[in-house]
């Protein structure tokens, strides 16, 4: 097909799509809602979340407001234990394709299951609503006198690593029907053992033949208490399952106490006829965790591993241990032992150059540094510092595409997403966004993200601009968001705004309602207990954990906490970044062990992968944000990564700065509907 024919087809598709959306959206989306409507919606929504009809008077002028259906859905969800089938079916019929309708169906089905109203449940159930409701549907069928078929009803569920409690009565029925054969039970037990899920194994033990239960319990013990399992293993028979349990226990213990696992391995390696795969896995794990502890002999262990026991992880740690020892010949040997695909990574190219330079091979080192210095990355910036040359940052801007913007403005789902964000319901906004964008091509997604960015919804661009030329859309990927007050707050706290921006970007990607598994909240990911202490220390009012979702509050406290971390480590941004991620006590431990290393080597030898990558990411982001704030020059990364123990001084007007320039080879012509220089 010719390019022009392809273009015509794309244009026609867009016109047809636009026409469909325009018809669907009708007049309700013709105008941007005003502040009064949004205020009224917030009030009505708060009332709807309390249930009943109290929201209706507050919403009397919102019938044409694009989020009006969310109000009734919120009230129905609150009253789920009292509402009847007719109320739910009426809403589903009126808004069949809406996200709140799908949520209401799920909630009502869960309530029907609780009531054990299985007839109504089956009338409203649809496949694909998740494992809990799938098991409820099977229970409904059983309640009606039906039976189970393993392949049809259970095979998919049986293969999943975890099942909800709703599946328990179904599995019990399957057992009673004789569907859970010994072979099927052991298949699930083996899968759970590999995943480290002792609870699943324990729940299945009673269904095994009596003679096999003790064997399954050995697997449970290996996962829950590997020390006890290895002590008991001396009395176990040399059976297949016992070897499996001993292997699991050795691997589990090695991750916690490598030396204790070593001792147990010396006792058991001749006691059991471990398979070659089991031996290699044990040796690999022991070597790896001795390496992360930087034990004496760790490098020799890694080098001596059988070829079949080598992994990308063991090869990587062979280099990291050699870097910690500053054994540059060993660094090169470790890099040479990597497969080509692994050693081409920017980190390893940089450290090959470092090793070559340390061994006096300056010309080879320079070539490698030059290859990395053309990249706007942590190792690219470090390489440019080594060469004393400008940083390579080649910005692009998104080309204007008014026609496609108009098409997107006719997309009701996208408009709902924008409006939900405008009324401070970001989780719901992201769901509408995901659905609206699920079939959109990358160019359309970029334009939509740009539209979101102009509305202050910054995280959409951060997540959307994640590959290819879009990585060069720095104004979208690294927003400044001055309305949140980061620059003045950082300055008042006595830290660099560029660094604070880098932390924020790495922590939350500008998702203001972000919440981690550890309950860290908001833009700078503060745990409420820590935030309360920071507030007290700095004389700020503390309104509780939920105030951390307010960007202004979060940034005020986050910058003060950053300043606290910096003060603990002589002002050093890179060490304070490590402490912000892993905790200051861990950083103290690493400094006690390897505090004489150069900063780049120290970062490379941080035992936690997450923290290593976090420090590299924050420091690279700090350079980019410095450039975004300052223009054509930046504080060199080498300044921010000063030697351990050397006090760090904040940049002044007299601080030498490094130029930022784009290599001419990176300049590309504008691409319509895409990005342009």
- Domain spanning 482-661, CATH architecture: Orthogonal Bundle (1.10)
Query: Tens digits of per-residue pLDDT, 252-277?
Result: 999 999 999 999 999 999 999 999 99
- Model confidence at 132, pLDDT cuts 50, 70, 90, reads very high
- Model confidence at 501, pLDDT cuts 50, 70, 90, reads very high
- pLDDT recorded at residue 672: 37
Angle at 385 between CA 344 and CA 336, to 5 degrees: 25
- pLDDT recorded at residue 617: 98
Q: Is the pLDDT of residue 521 over 80?
A: yes
What percent of the chain has pLDDT above 70? Answer: 94
- pLDDT recorded at residue 165: 95
- pLDDT recorded at residue 289: 97
- pLDDT recorded at residue 674: 54
Query: Tens digits of per-residue pLDDT, 74-88?
Result: 999 999 999 999 999
Sheet holding 391-392, edge to edge: 391-392, 658-661, 633-634
- pLDDT recorded at residue 484: 87
- pLDDT recorded at residue 631: 86
- Domain ranges for the chain: 1-26+400-472, 482-661
| Residue position matching structure tokens 């290393």 | 597
Phi, psi of 658 (to 5 degrees): -100, 140
Task: Say which residues have a Cβ less than 8 Å from residue 310's Cβ, sequence separation at least 6.
Answer: 284, 337
Q: Is the pLDDT of residue 14 over 80?
A: no
- pLDDT recorded at residue 223: 98
Mean pLDDT value across the chain: 93
**What would the DSSP string read from start to end of 584-628?**
HHHHHHHHHHHTTS-HHHHHHT-S-HHHHHHHHHHHHHHHHHHHH
Burial bucket for residue 29 (CB in 10 Å: 0-12, 13-18, 19+): buried
Q: Is the pLDDT of residue 18 over 60?
A: no
Taking residues 204-232, report their average pLDDT. 97
Taking residues 445-472, report their average pLDDT. 95
Using CA atoms, how far apart are residues 199 and 173, in angstroms rounded to an integer? 20
Which DSSP state fits 515?
A: B
Query: Tens digits of per-residue pLDDT, 146-196?
Result: 999 999 999 999 999 899 999 999 999 999 999 999 999 999 999 999 999
Using CA atoms, how far apart are residues 671 and 11, in angstroms rounded to an integer? 16
Taking residues 406-415, report their average pLDDT. 95
Using CA atoms, how far apart are residues 284 and 523, in angstroms rounded to an integer? 39
Q: Is the pLDDT of residue 199 over 80?
A: yes
Q: How many Cβ atoms from other residues are within 10 Å of residue 331's Cβ?
A: 26
Closest CA to 561 of 602, 516, 503: 503
- Model confidence at 483, pLDDT cuts 50, 70, 90, reads confident
- pLDDT recorded at residue 665: 52
Confidence (pTM): 0.91
Query: Tens digits of per-residue pLDDT, 301-316?
Result: 999 999 999 999 999 9
- pLDDT recorded at residue 675: 53
Q: Is the pLDDT of residue 342 over 90?
A: yes
Burial track 398-437 (b if 16+ CB lie within 10 A, e otherwise):
beebeebeebbbbbbbbbbbbbbbbbebbebbbbbbebbb
Measured in whole angstroms, the distance separating CA 387 from the mean position of its chain's CA atoms is 34
Q: Which 3 state secondary structure label does DSSP give 241?
A: helix
* Alpha helices per DSSP H over 59-130: 68-78, 85-94, 99-115, 118-124
- Model confidence at 21, pLDDT cuts 50, 70, 90, reads very low
Question: Can you say whether the dihedral through the CA atoms of 663, 664, 670, 671 is positive or negative?
Answer: negative
């Amino acid at each position: 097909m010719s390019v022009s024919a392809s273009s015509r087809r794309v244009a026609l598709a867009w016109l047809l799509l636009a026409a469909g959306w325009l018809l669907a959206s009708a007049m309700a989306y013709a105008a941007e809602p005003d502040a009064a409507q949004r205020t009224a919606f917030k009030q009505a929504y708060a009332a709807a979340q309390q249930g009943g009809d109290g929201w209706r008077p507050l919403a009397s002028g919102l019938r044409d407001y694009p989020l009006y259906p969310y109000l009734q859905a919120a009230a129905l969800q609150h009253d789920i234990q009292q509402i009847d089938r007719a109320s739910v079916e009426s809403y589903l019929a009126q808004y069949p394709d809406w996200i709140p309708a799908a949520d209401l169906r799920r909630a009502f089905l869960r309530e029907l299951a609780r009531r054990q109203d299985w007839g109504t449940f089956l009338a409203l159930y649809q496949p694909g609503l998740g494992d809990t409701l799938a098991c409820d549907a099977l229970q409904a069928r059983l309640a009606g006198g039906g039976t189970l078929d393993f392949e049809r009803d259970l095979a998919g569920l049986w293969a999943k690593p975890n099942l909800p409690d709703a599946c328990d009565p179904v599995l019990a029925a399957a057992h009673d029907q004789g569907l859970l054969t010994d072979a099927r039970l052991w298949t699930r037990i083996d899968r759970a053992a590999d995943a480290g899920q002792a609870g699943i194994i324990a729940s299945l033990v009673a269904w095994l033949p009596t003679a096999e239960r003790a064997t399954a319990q050995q697997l449970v013990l290996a996962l829950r208490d590997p020390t006890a399992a290895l002590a008991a293993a001396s009395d176990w028979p040399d059976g297949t399952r016992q070897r499996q349990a001993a292997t699991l226990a050795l691997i589990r213990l090695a991750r916690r106490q490598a030396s204790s696992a070593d001792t147990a391995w010396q006792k058991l390696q001749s006691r059991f006829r471990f398979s070659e795969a089991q031996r290699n896995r044990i040796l690999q794990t022991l070597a790896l965790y001795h390496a992360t502890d930087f034990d004496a002999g760790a490098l020799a262990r890694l080098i001596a591993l059988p070829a079949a026991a080598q992994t990308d992880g063991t090869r990587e740690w062979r280099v990291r241990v050699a870097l910690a020892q500053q054994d540059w010949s060993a660094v090169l040997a470790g890099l040479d032992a990597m497969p080509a695909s692994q050693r081409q990574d920017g980190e390893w190219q940089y450290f090959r150059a470092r090793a070559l330079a340390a061994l006096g091979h300056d010309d080879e080192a320079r070539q490698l540094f030059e290859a990395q210095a053309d990249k706007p990355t942590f190792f690219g910036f470090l390489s440019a510092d080594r060469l004393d040359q400008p940083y390579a940052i080649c910005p692009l801007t998104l080309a204007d595409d008014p026609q496609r913007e108009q098409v997107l403005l006719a997309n009701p789902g996208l408009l709902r997403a924008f409006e939900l964000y405008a009324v401070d319901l970001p989780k719901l906004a992201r769901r509408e966004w995901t659905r609206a964008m699920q079939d959109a091509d990358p160019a359309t997604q970029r334009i939509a993200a740009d539209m979101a960015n102009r509305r202050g919804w910054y995280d959409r661009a951060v997540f959307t601009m994640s590959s290819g030329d879009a990585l060069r859309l720095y104004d979208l990927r690294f927003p400044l968001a001055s309305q949140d007050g980061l620059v003045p707050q950082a300055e008042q706290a006595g830290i660099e705004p560029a660094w604070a921006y880098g932390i924020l970007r790495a922590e939350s990607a500008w998702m203001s309602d972000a919440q981690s598994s550890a309950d860290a909240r908001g833009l700078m990911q503060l745990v409420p207990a820590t935030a309360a202490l920071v507030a007290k220390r700095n004389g700020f009012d503390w309104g509780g954990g939920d105030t951390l979702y307010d960007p202004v509050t979060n940034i005020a406290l986050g910058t003060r906490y950053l300043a606290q971390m910096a003060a603990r480590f002589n002002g050093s941004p890179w060490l304070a970044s490590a402490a912000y991620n892993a905790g200051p006590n861990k950083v103290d431990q690493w400094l006690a062990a390897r505090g004489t290393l150069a900063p780049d080597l120290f970062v490379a030898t941080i035992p936690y992968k997450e923290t290593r990558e976090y420090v590299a990411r924050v420091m690279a982001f700090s350079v980019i944000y410095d450039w975004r704030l300052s223009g054509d020059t930046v504080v060199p990364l080498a300044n921010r990564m000063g030697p351990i123990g050397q006090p760090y001084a904040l940049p002044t007007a007299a601080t030498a700065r490094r130029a930022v320039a784009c290599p001419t080879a990176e300049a590309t012509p504008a691409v319509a509907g895409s990005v342009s220089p």
